[in-house]
Structure 1
Amino acid sequence: MRTLSDIRTVGIVGAGQMGSGIAQVAATREYDVVVRDVDQQHIDSAMDTIERNLQRAVSRDRITESEADTALGRVSATVDMADLASADVVVETVVEDMAVKQEVFAELDDLTDEDVVLATNTSTLSITSIGAATERPDRVVGIHFMNPVPLMDGVEVVAGERTSEDTVAFAHEFAESLDKTTWESDDKPGFVVNRVLIPWINEAIRAFDEGVASRNDIDNGLKLGTNVPMGPLELADFVGLDVVLDASETLHAELGDRYKPAYLLKRKVEAGDLGRKTGAGFYEYD
């Protein structure tokens, strides 16, 4: 298996919010990055987002203009999965659908060298089941970044049933090379973060729906009362209400009614109000 010192090129499958964030962070830590997505529009949007975020970092004196230009130059994007063949480690960030992830991992297994670690950014799905789609389940691991990746310090490392100790150690080292702080979870539904976070968000939605308090008072109460930077409704909009619903339904199926999605959450997703990305969720956005 490749060690951290062998890593030069990071492959990323999926050019959404998480994929672009991981690409940005990896590029600023002097890795070459190849981002692959099936949709050219997603790729163009991801590159625009990375450039915009780097310029924001320049304006806040976190990096220099030269460092931003160099980081952006390290990122390339493609619609061709074959362009990931030379990657030294791959991180998958596609939709939270087991069948889709297994298809991606089976393709990566055939495409990349056998000593390459294949990581998934899944927040709820079984690492063991994802790894079973490959001939190298010992080198499949969960590296779950927090959103937004450039700003959040934490990364959740998750070992599947067949993940080797060396792969787990590599996952910690790789995340730490991106200036992240790691913790570890067993391969159980929701891992640590979403197992606790999703019912917190759902209960806040129920409290709002039942008239316990206004959306602002719920969010302000939780921010002031628990010292978190975002309240649960604001956070749900940021993550995407469709993403929250998918996670809720996955955990509900695995763990029972305590994870049942709030009715108002389902209604908003059915209406297409998904949060920031559509301009409306629990709040409205430009």
Structure 2
Amino acid sequence: MERVGIVGAGTMGRGIAYVAITHGAQVTLYDVAPGALESAAAQIEAWLREAMGKGRLDEAEAQRARERLRLSTALEDFAQAEVIIEAAPEDLALKQEIFRQLDRACPPDAILASNTSSLSITALGAVTRRPERVGGMHFFNPAPVMRLVEIVRGLATSEETLRALSDLARRWGKTPVLVKDTPGFIVNRVARPFYLEALRLVGESVADPPTVDRLVRALGFRMGPFELMDLIGLDVNLAVSESLYRAFFEEPRFRPHPLQRQMVQAGRLGRKTGRGWYEYP
């Protein structure tokens, strides 16, 4: 499991790539969006320099990590990959099409994993000829820092695949947790009320976002719900909220809040756009 392919050079894809190359993996990072690979390479270089500045890597180790990274716009470059991790936007139809293409382009014994935070691993595996070698490998943002990785078992996922993904997570310094293929898995299912109750408080003018965040931090949380939404991205947060709401057959307690959609429509997506619930000059 030393040859790794990653689909998507966005926030999660580049974070996973950094984790992999700094733990000895040869990584091919794929994306076709204009500028995505260049932006990812610049971010990974910044992380490497930060790690050197803090003494976590020396110059030789950082250089070896750089040499392990390959940028690509062709899925055919995954022909030698042992595991491919998909980190595309949270859209089931898009992910299924990616898995169909990966199934054709990758070696038949390669494991196909998804970083999805809420969508069905079973549904992704079903569009391939190797559903037993399809599993979830859900990292958390920021991937270089957060230790938890949800290893998700689809209906057809084999024990061998689950062991391989769990072992890989451990080799990369992460803590794997095996979970069932249920909407939102563990963290995002638990997190929905954390966000949605906070949004209702603001929507009903009980409190403003800074007040809610301050109270939540006073209870011992590292970040409040609005700070966390800004970090993750309000578009991602809305997509996951809508996905869980549909997956639970419109269970009222998982209903998204209109404020989420309003913020996304306004382009206030959080840190990545410079403005969300807070401003980031």
Shared fold by TM > 0.5? Answer: yes
What residue in structure 1 maps to residue 227 of structure 2?
234
Using the size of structure 1 for normalisation, the TM-score is 0.95
Mapped to 2, the partners of 1:36 and 1:199 lie a distance apart of: 34
Q: Percent identity?
A: 45
Residue 139 (structure 1) aligned with residue 133 (structure 2): yes
Report the residue type matching 2:213 in the other structure: D
1:233-270 deviation per Cα after TM superposition (whole angstroms, max 9, x unaligned): 00101111011111111111122111111121111111
What residue in structure 2 maps to residue 259 of structure 1?
254
Using the size of structure 2 for normalisation, the TM-score is 0.97
Q: How do 1:72-87 and structure 2 match up within 5 A? A: 72-87=66-81
Structure 1: where are the runs of 5+ without partners? Answer: 1-6
Report the residue type matching 1:219 in the other structure: D
Q: How do 1:166-205 and structure 2 match up within 5 A? A: 166-205=160-199
> Alpha-carbon deviation of 1:211?
2.5
Residue 47 (structure 1) aligned with residue 35 (structure 2): no
> Alpha-carbon deviation of 1:202?
1.8
> Alpha-carbon deviation of 1:208?
2.2
> Alpha-carbon deviation of 1:132?
0.5
What residue in structure 2 maps to residue 283 of structure 1?
278
User: What is the aligned counterpart of 1:35 among 26, 29, 39?
Assistant: 29
Mapped to 2, the partners of 1:17 and 1:242 lie a distance apart of: 13
1:98-150 deviation per Cα after TM superposition (whole angstroms, max 9, x unaligned): 11111111111111111111000000000000001100000000000011000
Residue 57 (structure 1) aligned with residue 51 (structure 2): yes
Moved more, 61-70 or 81-90: 61-70
> Alpha-carbon deviation of 1:69?
2.1
Mapped to 2, the partners of 1:157 and 1:224 lie a distance apart of: 32
Moved more, 246-255 or 210-219: 210-219
What residue in structure 2 maps to residue 163 of structure 1?
157
| CA 249–151 in structure 1, closer or farther in 2 if over 3 Å, else same | same
Residue 244 (structure 1) aligned with residue 244 (structure 2): no
Structure 2: where are the runs of 5+ without partners? Answer: none
Residue 269 (structure 1) aligned with residue 254 (structure 2): no
Mapped to 1, the partners of 2:214 and 2:78 lie a distance apart of: 44
Which aligned segments of 4 or more residues in structure 1 are displaced greater than 3 angstroms?
none
What residue in structure 1 maps to residue 93 of structure 2?
99
Q: What's the RMSD between the two structures over aligned residues?
A: 1.1
Q: Secondary structure at the match of 1:99?
A: helix
Contact 1:127 1:140 in 2 (8 A): yes
> Alpha-carbon deviation of 1:154?
0.5
Q: How many residues align?
A: 279
Mapped to 2, the partners of 1:206 and 1:58 lie a distance apart of: 43
Mapped to 2, the partners of 1:213 and 1:63 lie a distance apart of: 44
> Alpha-carbon deviation of 1:40?
3.8
> Alpha-carbon deviation of 1:27?
0.2
Report the residue type matching 1:77 in the other structure: L
What residue in structure 2 maps to residue 4 of structure 1?
none
What residue in structure 2 maps to residue 221 of structure 1?
215
